[in-house]
Amino acid sequence: MLRYTGSPVCDYPAPRPLENDLDFVIQFPDPAPFDPAPWPPSARDLPEPPAPPQPLIAKLRRFVRLEECDLDALRNLAAYPKNYRSGHILIHENAVPDHVYLLVRGMACRYKLLPSGQRQILGYLIPGDLCDIHFATLGRPDHSVSLLADSAAVKIPTRRIVDLLADHPQIERALSLAAILDIAILREWLLNVGQRNALQKLSHFFCEMKVRLEAIGEVSFDGSFEMPVNQSTLADTTGLTPVHVNRTLQRLRSDGLIKLCHRRLSILDPDRLAAIAEFDAHYLQIRQCQR
């Protein structure tokens, strides 16, 4: 006689004899409790997304095709950044340079000071920008570079920059094209300061910064981006007074064009803002004609 105990499963273990050779028991183990995977899966169960390219690589890829050896050299160049506080001066005017800074995170500005202490901002540096690479070979800087926010930067010896350009012609070409872009931006800034009205000046500056930051992946999915500037900084950028900047910002807000809150800027109506500024991003798109 056979007696069965337990729950039926597919794998039958060998029978075990009892005291009576004709009496067997085949035992089936109870199945493990069903534990369905949670749905939707938690963040820790999902594979991590691929890391975005380093800002310097994202910037230079706009101009040339980079080989794997070039990418490795740029990754090594950007390794081991150091954190700096807002207001730190990276480059002093007329100081003898022995290094170049690569901005990895944050924002900086180029500027000159008058003997009276008045400041004119000449340009903004964003992640991926080198400040200033031509001083490594041409001599003393003719302006200063200061951080506008807590930032991270890599301090690179001048000799290493010279060797990088000699060993990687594509990187040298890309940096040369990036320098042409800087000159194009400077020309547009001269027009902005000299000829546009206050509303156009701020509108054009905001449009330009969004395009530049978008190119390196620094604009959020909602269209906002870091803008660590106060009214005094905007005044030194545009040649306006802080009072005039305040009035112009209020108008841009009341017209539903921008939202500037907690050092983040959202352009709420990009088409209308670009129309006011007469903004044409062509001067920022050198990659389309310089391959």
55-288 is a CATH 2.60.120.10 domain: yes
Are residues 158 and 138 in contact, defined by beta-carbon separation less than 8 angstroms?
no
Are residues 201 and 188 in contact, defined by beta-carbon separation less than 8 angstroms?
no
CA distance 267 to 257: 6
The length of the chain in residues reads 291
Query: Among residues 228, 82, 73, which one has the least CA distance to residue 153?
Result: 82
Q: What is the pLDDT of residue 236?
A: 97
Q: What is the DSSP letter of 258?
A: E
Confidence tier at 11 by pLDDT (50, 70, 90): low
Question: Could you tell me the residue ranges of all domains in the chain?
Answer: 55-288
Which is higher by pLDDT, 243 or 217? 243
pLDDT mean over 127-143: 80
Q: What is the pLDDT of residue 239?
A: 95
Confidence tier at 44 by pLDDT (50, 70, 90): low
pLDDT mean over 164-183: 93
Confidence tier at 99 by pLDDT (50, 70, 90): confident
Confidence tier at 49 by pLDDT (50, 70, 90): very low
**pTM given for the model:** 0.79
pLDDT mean over 196-219: 95
